[in-house]
Structure 1
Amino acid sequence: MVRRSELFGISIVAIVCLLLIGFSQKDVSTYQRSHRYQQYLDLDDSFKYTNNTVPSIDDVISNKNSLLSKELFNYKFPEGTSLEDYTLSTGGRPIRTVIITTWRSGSTFLGDILNAVPGNYYHYEPLLEFGITQIRGNPEARQALDTLKSLLHCDYSSLYSYLNFGMSHVYLFTHNTRLWDQCELYPAYCWNATFLSKFCKLFPFQSMKSVRLRLALAEELLQDDDLNIKVILLVRDPRGTMQSRKHRDWCPGMPDCDQPSNLCKDLISDYEAAGTLQMFYSDRFRVLRYEDLSLNPSVIIRDLFDFLGLYFHKDVEKFLNTHTKFDIGGVSSTFRDSKSAPFHWKADLDYTEIQNIEEACEEAMRLWGYVRAKNVTDMKEFNPLTSYSIN
């Protein structure tokens, strides 16, 4: 039988072992936390943690604000203005750009060009939760427009559905590279409305692209004087759009995606809406064909940036030089030989498929300056582009 003194000694040893294990695990946990945030510490030596604790939201915001000032050190703002004139956090008004288009029409490429601007905050596909459908009117239009307005105002306080969807579909945020960097460091803050609102307000530029909202509805955004947005309608040859959609597994069986007739009805309605917007908002609305952008990216983007009030920064020039010369990556890659990318449909679609699209899209193609192929031989060599005008 074990004596009482021996039992007491065994108990003491056991307690000491448990305490040592506990302290060891705590040290490992502390090291992991410290290591996890070391990358962020390296960005700015003035930003220090105390006791290896996670920084507060205000600490993260303050440090990001400091980093943005460095990032924008050589950005040329319009004469007589400075960074503070364009950030909501300082009572300024950001330069806001909204791209309206449809699936597989070049918006990822154009969106990434705008996101190459230093200090840009990218609202990528904010209507993802609506699924593979086009928003042409109520009841969906009200929720969609309220979401877009809240995001452009950097007000996440009421965006419960948007944030809930994003938590299980993180690509809603991953294209916003400046935000996603923080999400990887501070996962608990990533879907926090208070953090997101404060973070968004630091940025002098906001860009947004949507492939689900039709142009006529975007007039409500232009009517909001506080937003002072500029809208780009991005148009693509329906033959190119339908060819590109063939490679997406989410498109078949979705009428708004796999039916050329629906695509071209939207192209016609967008043309009609473009006439109205060009009449009343000529200084804040612009039409751009994907093919024109691809054939002359540097010229078109310089002209577009003049219209948007953006400086053609060296980072934008670098993006164009590295993303328009060679095909790299899969169907969603923006590394493309831009002069050939818009015309893959001529080799990828057979003549019967092209005829079916052209018959469903005759009026839309005429309005937007796209030429029909005469025959199989002509299809390979002809120029499918001609001029167009908005009436």
Structure 2
Amino acid sequence: MIRGRFTIYLTLLALSVIFMLGFFKQMFVMDVHPYNKDPAPRGKEYSKDGDFDWGTAVKYNPKQKLLLKDTVENILHPIAPEFRIGDALPDTVVRQIHIATSWRSGSTFLGDLLNHNMGTFYSFEPLHFESLSMSTERRLDLMNNIFKCNFHNKEVIGWMKHASKGENNFLFQRNFRSFKICENLLPGKVSCYMDKFQSPICSMSPIRVIKTVRFRVKLAEEFLKNDKDFPHFKMVVLVRDPRGTMHSRSHHSWCSGEECINSTVVCENLEKDAQSAYQLAKKYPGKVYLLRYEDICMNPYEEVKSLFEFLKLPRSKGLDNFIQKHMFGKESKKHPYSTFRKSDNIYMEWRKTVDMGYIEKIQKDCSIPMKTLGYHSFSSPFDRDNFTISVLSKASESIWPKNLS
């Protein structure tokens, strides 16, 4: 039943994207940025008060109208009479997924993996907007409105304005389905940062994923307890061996703040997030999942299978191909932000270069979370250099029993 309804929603989404592509190409080209106060005159698709008129848009795109009419009447209505092209999907079927993690913990790959599933609207690092200076209330408001596809919200508009700057375009480019449509519609990719483009696309997406590295796990309880607005909300807490995390961060000049480079602070936050994950999992059964980066690298197919079963998501035919290409393929790349990796060694790369003194400091600062999360401490350079000794001291089932998810 679930797979059948998802097939319907994915079909609707695909048709809606075709529809939007058609009418956006018919719009009058705006010669100014959407955040300027005086936009150029727009086409007949807009009403007098400036709102976009879906009905009029169809009227001025007759070919799109005929295609949609035929498809809806002959294919969709017999099995889903209550749904219409362009309608927002009901909360009863939408899946909101939050990937909560920290910098350089493998979250870019995990986010891209979930984004690879059809019907996904992916929001990459919305808290990049104001980083650590943003209050908890504003962070929650921003994420709440993104999950609800309220792109006209003040905080979300601020995020879009931030992402529209050239050096920040990567924030929206990760949502590749949406970006491929909008990047060539108007000059300067401006449609990609318009609420009237993003809101409808988001509203028609049955899977909505937000990935953050600036959000403490305990704060997600605001979404977990809100069954009215988010009945299918689930959180994936991604952790990584702090020795590997700190090594990876050391290569980036932007990682200069205490929460990023100070191992004492990093370990305190890791401990808090791990404890919050266990507490929330017990309080909200079936809604929280803790995943180690190393487990994905060592057993990607099995770990992804377990993750998708927890999320109750159908696995697309191309998912295994995505894993093969990004984790085992010949295209593995050296770029620090590339998601192409040689999984059989990348998670242990730090063991080849990190000084034993620094390893011992991290192990001391992180002794509690490392024990909780099943990471093995090395007592000598010999142990560090002996790759037959695993970085893991516990199996994934031991640190996160199935009854927690």
TM-score (norm 1): 0.77
How big is the shift at 1:90?
4.1
Instruction: Give the distance between the partners of 1:162 and 1:181, measured in 2 at CA.
Output: 19
Q: Does 2:253 correspond to 1:249?
A: yes
Q: Of 391, 402, 405, which aligns to 1:384?
A: 391
Q: Deviations over 1:194-225 (max 9, x none)?
A: 22211211211111110000100011111121
Seen in structure 2, the aligned counterparts of structure 1 residues 49 and 286 have a Cα distance that, compared at 3 Å, is closer
What is the correspondence of 1:358-369 to structure 2 with a 5 Å cutoff? 358-369=363-374
Seen in structure 2, the aligned counterparts of structure 1 residues 283 and 53 have a Cα distance that, compared at 3 Å, is same
Instruction: Give the distance between the partners of 1:51 and 1:211, measured in 2 at CA.
Output: 39
Deviates more, 1:218-227 or 1:157-166: 157-166
> Does the Cα contact within 8 Å between 1:291 and 1:342 map onto a contact in 2?
yes
Q: Which has the larger radius of gyration?
A: 1
Instruction: Give the distance between the partners of 1:115 and 1:141, measured in 2 at CA.
Output: 26
Letter in 2 for 1:165: H
SS at match of 1:179: helix
Letter in 1 for 2:365: A
Instruction: Give the distance between the partners of 2:103 and 2:247, measured in 1 at CA.
Output: 11
Q: Does 2:158 correspond to 1:148?
A: no
> Does the Cα contact within 8 Å between 1:95 and 1:309 map onto a contact in 2?
no
TM-score (norm 2): 0.74
Match of 1:98 in 2: 98
Deviates more, 1:188-197 or 1:165-174: 188-197
Letter in 1 for 2:122: Y
Q: Does 2:161 correspond to 1:164?
A: yes
Instruction: Give the distance between the partners of 1:260 and 1:82, measured in 2 at CA.
Output: 56
How big is the shift at 1:353?
1.6
Q: Does 2:277 correspond to 1:270?
A: no
SS at match of 1:206: strand
Match of 1:23 in 2: none
Match of 2:240 in 1: 236
Instruction: Give the distance between the partners of 1:230 and 1:90, measured in 2 at CA.
Output: 18
Q: Deviations over 1:248-281 (max 9, x none)?
A: 1211x31111111111101111122112211111
Q: Does 2:229 correspond to 1:224?
A: no
Q: Does 2:208 correspond to 1:198?
A: no
Instruction: Calculate percent identity across the aligned residue pairs.
Output: 30
> Does the Cα contact within 8 Å between 1:118 and 1:315 map onto a contact in 2?
no
Seen in structure 2, the aligned counterparts of structure 1 residues 365 and 190 have a Cα distance that, compared at 3 Å, is same
Coordinate RMSD, CA, aligned: 3.0
Q: Does 2:186 correspond to 1:179?
A: no
Q: Deviations over 1:158-208 (max 9, x none)?
A: 123212212212122111101211231223322222222112112111111
Letter in 2 for 1:331: P
> Does the Cα contact within 8 Å between 1:83 and 1:204 map onto a contact in 2?
no
How big is the shift at 1:104?
0.4
Instruction: Give the distance between the partners of 1:214 and 1:83, measured in 2 at CA.
Output: 39
Seen in structure 2, the aligned counterparts of structure 1 residues 83 and 313 have a Cα distance that, compared at 3 Å, is farther
> Does the Cα contact within 8 Å between 1:257 and 1:263 map onto a contact in 2?
yes
Seen in structure 2, the aligned counterparts of structure 1 residues 264 and 84 have a Cα distance that, compared at 3 Å, is farther
Seen in structure 2, the aligned counterparts of structure 1 residues 160 and 319 have a Cα distance that, compared at 3 Å, is same
SS at match of 1:188: helix
How big is the shift at 1:246?
1.2
SS at match of 2:376: coil
Instruction: Give the distance between the partners of 1:82 and 1:246, measured in 2 at CA.
Output: 56
Instruction: Give the distance between the partners of 1:371 and 1:269, measured in 2 at CA.
Output: 20
How big is the shift at 1:53?
5.3
Instruction: Give the distance between the partners of 2:301 and 2:360, measured in 1 at CA.
Output: 33
> Does the Cα contact within 8 Å between 2:89 and 2:205 map onto a contact in 1?
no
Instruction: Give the distance between the partners of 1:155 and 1:214, measured in 2 at CA.
Output: 23
Seen in structure 2, the aligned counterparts of structure 1 residues 49 and 295 have a Cα distance that, compared at 3 Å, is closer
Runs of 4+ displaced beyond 4 Å: 46-60, 80-85
Instruction: Give the distance between the partners of 2:216 and 2:362, measured in 1 at CA.
Output: 21
Seen in structure 2, the aligned counterparts of structure 1 residues 123 and 379 have a Cα distance that, compared at 3 Å, is same
How big is the shift at 1:348?
2.2
How big is the shift at 1:236?
0.5
Corresponding residue pairs, total? 328
SS at match of 1:181: helix
> Does the Cα contact within 8 Å between 1:88 and 1:94 map onto a contact in 2?
no
Instruction: Give the distance between the partners of 1:231 and 1:193, measured in 2 at CA.
Output: 26
Seen in structure 2, the aligned counterparts of structure 1 residues 51 and 323 have a Cα distance that, compared at 3 Å, is closer
Q: Deviations over 1:106-135 (max 9, x none)?
A: 10011011011012110111100233x4x8
SS at match of 2:358: helix
